[in-house]
Structure 1
Amino acid sequence: MRGPIRRRRRSAEEAVPPSKAEQPEVEPSTFGLRDLLSEATAGVLQRPARSALTALGTVLGVGTFVAILGLTATTSSQIDSRFNALTATEVTVEESGADDAKAAGTVFPADADRRMQRVNGVKAAGVYWTVRLGDGVTVRSAPVAAGGGTDGAGQDINVVAASPGVFRAAHPTLAQGKVYDEYLVDSEEPVAVISSGVAARLGITTLETHPAVFIGDEPFTVVGIVSDVDRKADLLLSVVVPRTVAERIWGDPDPQEAQMLVSTQLGAARQVAHEAPTALLPNHPEYLKSQAPPDPRTLRSNVTSDLNQLFLLLAGICLVIGAVGIANTTLVAVLERTGEIGLRRALGARGRHITAQFLAESGALGSLGGLVGTSLGTLTVLGVALARDWTPVVHPATVATAPLIGLVTGVLAGLYPAWRAAGIEPAEALRR
């Protein structure tokens, strides 16, 4: 009896399930970094054409971002240099409009050019104004002349009275002849300087015949033909005569019309503008006011800010388009690979593993687009700079940041598809 009972007890004990402590441990599923990178690379290379088109949006966005910042910095430096070369060295002095100044007539003294030359930093200075001709007074090359109107009607052309310093400040390019100097002005010689365009209108082709222009009935010998000027471009549309001759024939200029053009050394414009009224009229400096150029740094910062705001908006739009493209393609990949995802879940893959895989794939596409876009944007800046003979300016921080922007764009674009993939149930996926 004891034997069989003992055996039955042993069989019963064998039938009892082991306790929880005695159950074998199940190893948790792991998904290391190496596995993650290999799976993401396989997912990207599985459909290379689709991956390339998906990354194209990020390429355009990041490339535009780099090109915009580089071209903005490059053009800003060019604007700054050109501004310094011309506008930053130009000062204009005019009457202030005070009642006493109006009563005094023209407030610029006869030796205004010489007075301004004594100011430190001044390269050249001259007084000018537009002559008020009477009604019906026109300009012609001769009483009867081809080009000036064979009927003697003449041309309606502006006449500007100017001192010799105006030409030195405007820096003209002469096609023929020369500009008048202080000797011709002091001796009140009736001479004139015209531009190539005015000469063509009046039918003057050469100075070898000593041509003359008639302003009304007053003859002026043409001593020079100007093809271009660096400053005061309206001189190219006028007949320029000496100041002393204009005062003798037509009288003093009307109040508020006479001005002085001053060319300065680089960096001296604001100081010259401050000292000019006192240098010209030490007894009444309030009769004059001077206009100095704005600070070039302010101009550059304003231009750079405007360009950055406009073009960075375009770059942001391109990045959004790229992100939408990555999100759409990743979501389609999730739907197409539902069976694969379900099988992986059934074999022990957890939701976070699936999420990490799809985020890695979208991040890889974004990084690839960022690298290619950075290269294309940098090459664009170099190409434009070489074509325009500029100095390319690309900040190292821009080049270093741009690929990271592509990575962040890809990761953000893959958040929703990865979340959808992680929520797929294994049993439901395997039924499809």
Structure 2
Amino acid sequence: MSAPRAGTTRGERLTPGRLSPGDVVRTGAAGLRARPARVILSALGIAIGIATMIAVIGISSSSREQLLRRLDRLGTNLLTVSPGRTMFGEEAELPGTALAMVQRIRPVRTAAATGGVEATVRRNNHIPDAVTGGIAVQAASTGLLTTLEGAVARGAWLNEATARQPAVVLGAEAARRLGLARTGVQVWMGGRWFTVIGILGPMPLAPEIERSALVGFPAAADLLGFDGHPTTIYERSSDATVEQVRAALPRTVNPENPEEVAVSRPSDALAAKAAAAGAFTGLLLGLGAVALLVGGVGVANTMVISVLERRKEIGLRRSLGATRGQVRLQFLAESLLLSGLGGAAGAVLGALATAGYALSRGWPPVVPPWAVGGAVAATLVVGTLAGIYPAMRAARLSPTVALAAG
């Protein structure tokens, strides 16, 4: 076999060199370094869109994680029993023996009750009765705090002795509305003074307790005219028996009219809230997508201007043997690098915004990996779409025309 010839003869065509991936990246990066201010401004639009999308998803996920952790901590085995409606549409009434009947159900671990009292609570007796502050007065059994797994923030909870005295325990919200931060003071309730012996902490599974002033059943009956009929019964059982107990409660509480008994699980509301934590995520993601679209338009505009400004460079490369495909690849690489720069900055900003907001609210900061992956994919799509037209326009330039225009 003869050795290859050192040169070429007339009629033979030179084969253009191939660009390695590293060459493509270096060529694209060189084009961006020549116009740093314009590159930063164009990348900023992409960064804002990506940061918005990641922050929206991250904050929503952090909120949902906080709610789910709270559910795990509070448990999902609490059931509440309340009066339903009679066949005539009127509000039914729970029997006075309802609590004792619930406590007889074998899987029930603990149960307690509250009953509505026709009275108002105010800081003093000079405030009109019409000014209630949205605070309800309720009779409470001594086992209520244990059943709700609540805590006393200040003072003490009702016991067998104080439940018979003019003593009151305030829910966290009730104390705030009354402007009370300590125990030992007196409030005017039902035409007489009651001493505040305790202030409760938050009760996420029983927000109605947070807005209530609680007195013992005996004191409510003797001093406030309470009729002894509970309005809400709280019950806890094991997780495995919750549904079994739930089915048995109506027949146990009111054997004659079980349809007049309503049973609910407070944790369902928190679970629904956790599921709805991303209800507005779609709308906010749409705003982020609009920002990303605007950023993509900015990238396309930058690349079109770059093609117009660099016609001489394009013509020179074409004259030196660069193919249309290589020119097209160069400008597409610039567009992808420009979008990638904005996407990386946006991902960092979005993660920082999520962490800052979540930590300020006491939430665990969560940025789902799929959100980052989606942001990367969106960046690549935007970069490709924004670079296609400028790249094709650059590739179509004739070397002669491009050099003459330069």
Interval containing the TM-score (normalised by the shorter chain):
0.7 to 0.9
Q: Give the drift of 1:77.
A: 1.0
Q: Give the corresponding residue for 1:273.
A: 246
Find the counterpart in structure 1 of residue 344 from structure 2: 371
2:50, 2:292 within 8 Å by CA — same for their partners in 1? yes
Q: By how many angstroms is 1:329 displaced?
A: 0.8
Match for 1:98: what amino acid?
Answer: T
User: Residue 71 of structure 1 corresponds to which residue in structure 2?
Assistant: 59
- 1:126 corresponds to: 113
Structure 1 residues 182-230: Cα deviation after superposition (integer angstroms, max 9, x where no partner): x676xxx45341539679979998749xx795634xx576472435452
Match of 2:5 in 1: none
* Residue 178 of structure 1, CA deviation: 4.4
> Is the alpha carbon distance of 1:332 and 1:267 closer, same or farther for their aligned partners in structure 2, counting shifts above 3 Å?
farther
- Between 399-408 and 412-421, report the one with greater CA deviation: 399-408
Q: Distance in 1 between matches of 2:128 and 2:29?
A: 85
**CA distance change for structure 1 residues 121 and 370 in 2, over 3 Å: closer, same or farther?**
farther
1 CA distance for matches of 2:177 and 2:330? Answer: 77
The separation in 1 between residues aligned to 2:169 and 2:25, in whole angstroms, is 76
Taking every aligned residue pair, what percent have the same amino acid on both sides?
A: 28
CA 1:361–1:281: 2 relative to 1, 3 Å: same
Task: Look up the SS of the partner of 1:391 in the other structure.
Answer: coil
8 Å CA contact 2:109, 2:236 repeated in 1 = yes
1:270 Cα deviation (Å)? 4.8
Counterpart-to-counterpart distance in 1, 2:168 and 2:249: 27
Q: For 1:202 and 1:334, how far apart are their aligned partners in 2?
A: 69
Give the deviation of 1:317 after TM superposition.
1.9
- What is the rounded CA distance, in whole Å, between the counterparts of 2:206 and 2:288 in structure 1? 40
Match of 1:312 in 2: 285
**Which residue is equivalent to 1:93?**
81
After the TM superposition, which of the residue ranges 44-53 and 385-394 deviates more from structure 2? 385-394
Distance 1:167 1:357, change over 3 A: closer
2:154 and 2:198 in contact (8 A); partners too: yes
Whole-angstrom CA distance in 1 between matches of 2:39 and 2:181:
70
**Cα drift, residue 172 of structure 1:** 5.3
Shift of 1:55: 1.9
Q: CA deviation at 1:128?
A: 1.1
Q: Contact 2:336–2:383 (CA<8 Å) still a contact in 1?
A: yes
Deviation at 1:404, TM superposition (A): 3.8
Query: How far, CA to CA, are the matches of 1:238 and 1:424 in structure 2?
Result: 79
**Aligned residue in 2 for 1:110:** 97
**Cα offsets for 1:278-317 (capped at 9, x unmatched):** 333345433422122427655433323x243133223312
Where does structure 1 lack aligned partners over 5 or more consecutive residues?
1-21, 142-146
The match for 2:335 is 362
**Matching residue's letter, 1:53:** L
Q: Does 1:252 align with 2:230?
A: no
| C-alpha distance 406-29 of structure 1, shift in aligned 2 (>3 A) | same
Aligned AA (1:51)? V
Partner AA of 1:335 in structure 2: L
CA contact 2:81–2:233 (8 Å) conserved in 1? yes
Partner of 1:127, secondary structure, is strand
Q: Could you say what secondary structure the match of 1:51 adopts?
A: helix
2:50 corresponding residue in structure 1: 62
Pairing partner for 1:243 from 214, 217, 240: 217
Q: What amino acid is aligned across from residue 390 of structure 2 in structure 1?
A: P
2:315 maps to 1:338: no
State the match for 1:161 in structure 2: 139
CA RMSD, aligned part only? Answer: 4.2
Q: Which residue of 2 is the match for residue 329 of structure 1?
A: 302
Match of 2:28 in 1: 40
Match of 1:302? 276
Is 323-332 or 292-301 further displaced after alignment? 292-301
Larger radius of gyration between Structure 1 and Structure 2: 1
1:416 deviation in Å? 1.4
8 Å contact from structure 2 (residues 117, 220) kept in 1? no
C-alpha separation in 1, matches of 2:50 and 2:187: 64
Q: 1:387 to 1:94 in 2, by over 3 A?
A: closer
Are residues 271 and 292 of structure 1, via their aligned partners in 2, closer, same or farther at CA, if it must alter by over 3 Å? Answer: farther
CA distance in 2, matches of 1:422, 1:397: 36
Offset from partner CA, 1:92-125 (integer Å, 9 cap, x none): 212232259979x843233615733745254432
Aligned mates of 1:99, 1:156 — CA distance in 2:
35
Tell me the CA shift for residue 327 of structure 1.
0.7
SS of the equivalent of 2:332 reads helix
TM-score when normalising by structure 1:
0.72
Residue among 131, 145, 152 paired with 1:173: 152
Q: Secondary structure at the match of 1:107?
A: coil
Q: What residue identity is the alignment partner of 1:395?
A: P
Structure 2, unaligned stretches of length 5 or more? 1-8
Q: Is the 8 A contact 1:269 1:292 kept in 2?
A: no
- The answer to whether the 8 Å contact 1:92/1:292 transfers is yes
Output the CA distance in 1 between the equivalents of 2:231 and 2:293: 57
Q: Choose which of 148, 166, 172 in structure 1 pairs with 2:125.
A: 148
Alpha-carbon shift at residue 368 of structure 1 (Å): 2.5
Task: Point out the more displaced range, 396-405 or 362-371.
Answer: 396-405
- Partner Cα distance (2:179, 2:67) in 1: 38
Is the CA contact (8 Å cut-off) linking 2:96 and 2:228 kept in structure 1? no
